[in-house]
């Protein structure tokens, strides 16, 4: 069990290093390449590809083995990082992120399957909290280090520097999985068929493409084309998701839908705002990039604290209360963040404190939703609910980054200097208001379910 726990935490740490490093370095990349309209796509393309990757590698692991699935996923992820490090434009960087995201989707969904299969009761909550703790050490030094390297040397080293870390992490996880592979194989009585691999992979691909269409519709100028693309995207997303949900063995699918919607909307609200926060602090508040990256460190710390709080509280505080309190804290934090940008006299450093509080709220929300989602799955369907959680998680994040990216890009080409900065601040304020409304919507979906399977 120890080797399994370490392999999971190793993968989480790898994801933390990559996420924190690239998010911090991206303002420098935009300064070199320009094309702010594609800034959001650097994150959205990564998320959409990981959505497909999660669906594929989850069922791939059911058919073959989690060890083999993980090895392929980490290899693809490292290759995508290398491509990103040698990119020559924002467009080629987006392409590299598609490759990287596909691999990342694999080693995001697979740890949830491991936890579902090999941990019992409150151990699952503690393991999810430990996964959040794996962000602590990277969050201490990765944002400032990535900022210094990107400004003083080259942002390319931030991408390329993660490649050997990814390969080393993959080897360590492979060694741990080799010891317990017999248990993993015996868990699933029947291997997933080729048809199941194809159906669930295509379902994930359909979800990814449909979310991409919804994001693309935001930037289309022709009104008719905009709404046609948006309509088709929504229809394909609903059809793909319903297909995956109907094929899943879940206790109460209506309540599971509410869990998934709460997950997707909260992801939209938090990660979309956070992805652009270092950029806006760097551009609008004129903070050095190494200091602006500390906002990611702050939220990582408080997220971990919130995760441990919910792990202890899960035994005597209901699911609805935990998530409701967490979302309430987050909404208040968003309101304070809006005020920090609205009032130009307030220092940018205040955003770090505000986002620390926001991270604490979401640290309670996320693992609570994950536990509820895993609790809704019957034995043998953990890969299916893990894929669905990732679809809504990454879908919400991708749509949010696409929307905020489009808002920041609107009208920027004809503006210069202080006026451009003013537009960045104004549009980011709009994004925060939208995120606040979406967070409140997720709260409404939360209270609509009964979640009787959590009491059984």
Overall domain count for the chain: 1
335 vs 288, residue with greater confidence: 335
161 vs 9, residue with greater confidence: 161
Q: What is the 3-state secondary structure (H, E, C) of the chain?
A: CHHHHHHHHHHHHHHHHHHHHHHHHHHHHHHHHCCHHHHHHHHHHHHHHHHHHHHHHHHHHHHCCHHHHHHHHHHHHHHHHHHHHCCCCHHHHHHHHHHHHHHHHHHHHHHHHHHHHHCCCHHHHHHHHHHHHCCHHHHHHHHHHHHHHHHHCCCHHHHHHHHHHHHHHHHHHHHHHHHHHHHHHHHCCCCCCHHHHHHHHHHHHHHHHHHHHHHHHHHCCCHHHHHHHHHHHHHHHHHHHHHHHHCCCECCHHHHHHHHHHHHHHHHHHHHHHHHHHHHHHHCCCCCHHHHCHHHHHHHHHHHHHHHHHHHHCCCCCHHHHHHHHHHHHHHHHHHHHHHHHCCCCCCHHHHHHHHHHHHHHHHHHHHHHHHHHHCECCCCHHHHHHHHHHHHHHHHHHHHHHHHHHHHCCCCCCCHHHHHHHHHHHHHHHHHHHHHHHHHHHHHHCCCCCHHHCC
Most confident of 17-21, 298-302, 374-378, 436-440: 436-440
Tell me how far apart the alpha carbons of residues 202 and 236 are, in angstroms, rounded to a whole number.
Answer: 12
For residue range 212-241, what is the model confidence (pLDDT) as tens digits? Answer: 887 777 767 777 887 888 888 888 877 777
Q: What is the mean pLDDT of residues 303-323?
A: 82
Of the ranges 72-76, 133-137, 410-414, which one carries the lowest mean pLDDT score? 410-414
Tell me how far apart the alpha carbons of residues 28 and 16 are, in angstroms, rounded to a whole number.
Answer: 20
CA triplet 404, 410, 414: central angle to 5 degrees? 145
Does pTM surpass 0.75? no
Q: Quick check: 23 pLDDT over 90?
A: no
Q: What percent of the chain has pLDDT over 90?
A: 11
Structure-token pair, residue 454 = 């959590």
Tell me how far apart the alpha carbons of residues 41 and 26 are, in angstroms, rounded to a whole number.
Answer: 12
CA dihedral 127→391→38→342, nearest 10 degrees, is: -70
pLDDT category, 82, cuts 50, 70, 90?
A: very high
What's residue 179's pLDDT? 67
Of the ranges 92-101, 362-371, 385-394, which one carries the lowest mean pLDDT score? 385-394
What's residue 125's pLDDT? 66
Q: Quick check: 78 pLDDT over 70?
A: yes
- In whole numbers, what is the pLDDT of the chain averaged over residues? 78
Give the domain CATH number at 421: 1.20.1250.20
For residue range 173-187, what is the model confidence (pLDDT) as tens digits? Answer: 777 677 666 544 444
Q: What is the mean pLDDT of residues 429-443?
A: 88
What's residue 344's pLDDT? 76
120 vs 444, residue with greater confidence: 444
pLDDT category, 395, cuts 50, 70, 90?
A: confident
pLDDT category, 414, cuts 50, 70, 90?
A: very low
Can you state the angle between helices 223-246 and 194-219, rounded to 10 degrees?
A: 150
Q: What is the mean pLDDT of residues 408-428?
A: 59
Report in angstroms the alpha-carbon separations of 235 from 220, 225, 242, 297, 401: 18, 15, 11, 38, 21
Structure-token pair, residue 222 = 């022709």
Q: Quick check: 158 pLDDT over 80?
A: yes
Tell me how far apart the alpha carbons of residues 219 and 233 are, in angstroms, rounded to a whole number.
Answer: 14
Q: What percent of the chain has pLDDT over 70?
A: 79
For residue range 341-379, what is the model confidence (pLDDT) as tens digits? Answer: 888 788 888 999 999 999 999 988 988 888 787 777 666
Give the domain extent around 162. 2-454
Tell me how far apart the alpha carbons of residues 49 and 72 are, in angstroms, rounded to a whole number.
Answer: 15
Where does residue 139 fall: left (phi above 0), alpha (psi -120 to 50 degrees), or beta otherwise? alpha
| 22 touches 147 (CB < 8 A) | no
pLDDT category, 380, cuts 50, 70, 90?
A: low
Of the ranges 113-117, 144-148, 311-315, which one carries the lowest mean pLDDT score? 113-117
What's residue 416's pLDDT? 47
Q: Quick check: 422 pLDDT over 70?
A: no
CA 397 to chain centre: 6
The residue assigned the tokens 């990559």 is 18
Report in angstroms the alpha-carbon separations of 218 from 169, 228, 267, 401, 434: 38, 12, 19, 11, 14
Q: Quick check: 413 pLDDT over 50?
A: no
Report how far apart the first and last C-alpha atoms of the chain are (Å, whole number): 26
Tell me how far apart the alpha carbons of residues 86 and 97 are, in angstroms, rounded to a whole number.
Answer: 12
Report in angstroms the alpha-carbon separations of 214 from 44, 50, 227, 383: 11, 17, 9, 26
Q: Quick check: 325 pLDDT over 50?
A: yes
Q: What is the mean pLDDT of residues 31-39?
A: 77
For residue range 46-77, what is the model confidence (pLDDT) as tens digits? Answer: 888 887 887 787 777 666 667 777 888 888 99
pLDDT category, 415, cuts 50, 70, 90?
A: very low
Q: Quick check: 37 pLDDT over 50?
A: yes
Structure-token pair, residue 129 = 């909290």
Q: Quick check: 144 pLDDT over 80?
A: yes
pLDDT category, 264, cuts 50, 70, 90?
A: confident
Of the ranges 133-142, 299-308, 316-325, 332-341, which one carries the lowest mean pLDDT score? 133-142
What's residue 251's pLDDT? 55
Largest CA distance in the chain: 64
What's residue 308's pLDDT? 82
For residue range 179-217, what is the model confidence (pLDDT) as tens digits? Answer: 666 544 444 445 656 666 676 677 777 777 887 887 777
């Amino acid at each position: 069990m120890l080797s399994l726990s370490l392999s999971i935490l190793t993968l989480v740490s790898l994801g933390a290093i990559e996420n924190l490093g690239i998010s911090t370095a991206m303002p420098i990349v935009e300064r070199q390449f320009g094309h702010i309209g594609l800034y959001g796509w650097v994150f959205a393309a990564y998320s959409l590809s990981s959505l497909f990757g999660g669906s594929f590698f989850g069922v791939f692991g059911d058919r073959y083995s989690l060890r083999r699935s993980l090895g392929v996923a980490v290899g693809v992820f490292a290759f995508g990082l290398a491509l990103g490090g040698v990119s020559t434009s924002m467009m080629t960087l987006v392409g590299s992120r598609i490759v990287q995201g596909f691999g990342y989707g694999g080693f995001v969904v697979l740890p949830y399957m491991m936890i579902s299969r090999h941990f019992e009761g409150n151990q699952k909550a503690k393991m999810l909290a430990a996964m959040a703790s794996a962000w602590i050490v990277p969050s201490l030094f990765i944002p400032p280090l990535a900022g210094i390297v990107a400004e003083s040397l080259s942002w390319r080293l931030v991408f390329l520097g993660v490649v050997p870390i990814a390969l080393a992490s993959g080897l360590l996880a492979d060694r741990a999985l080799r010891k317990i592979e017999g248990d993993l194989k015996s868990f699933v009585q029947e291997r997933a068929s080729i048809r199941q691999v194809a159906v669930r992979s295509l379902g994930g691909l359909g979800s990814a493409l449909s979310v991409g269409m919804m994001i693309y519709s935001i930037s289309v100028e022709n009104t008719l084309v905009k709404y046609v693309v948006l309509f088709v995207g929504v229809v394909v997303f609903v059809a793909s998701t319903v297909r995956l949900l109907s094929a899943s063995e879940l206790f109460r699918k209506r309540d599971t839908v509410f869990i998934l919607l709460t997950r997707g909307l909260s992801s939209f609200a938090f990660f979309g705002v956070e992805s652009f926060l270092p950029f806006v602090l760097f551009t609008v508040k004129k903070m050095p990039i190494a200091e602006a990256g500390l906002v990611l460190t702050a939220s990582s710390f408080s997220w971990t604290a919130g995760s441990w709080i919910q792990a202890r509280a899960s035994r005597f505080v209901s699911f609805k209360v935990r998530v409701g309190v967490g979302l309430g804290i987050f909404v208040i934090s968003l309101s304070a963040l809006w005020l920090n940008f609205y009032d130009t006299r307030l220092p940018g450093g205040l955003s770090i404190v505000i986002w620390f509080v926001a991270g604490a709220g979401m640290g309670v929300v996320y693992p609570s939703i994950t536990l509820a989602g895993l609790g809704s799955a019957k034995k043998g369907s953990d890969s299916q609910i893990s894929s669905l959680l990732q679809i809504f998680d990454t879908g919400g994040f991708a749509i949010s980054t696409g929307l905020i990216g489009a808002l920041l890009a609107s009208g920027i080409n004809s503006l210069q200097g202080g006026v451009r900065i003013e537009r960045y601040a104004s549009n980011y304020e709009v994004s925060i208001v939208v995120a606040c409304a979406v967070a409140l919507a997720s709260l409404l979906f939360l209270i609509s379910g009964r979640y009787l399977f959590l009491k059984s």
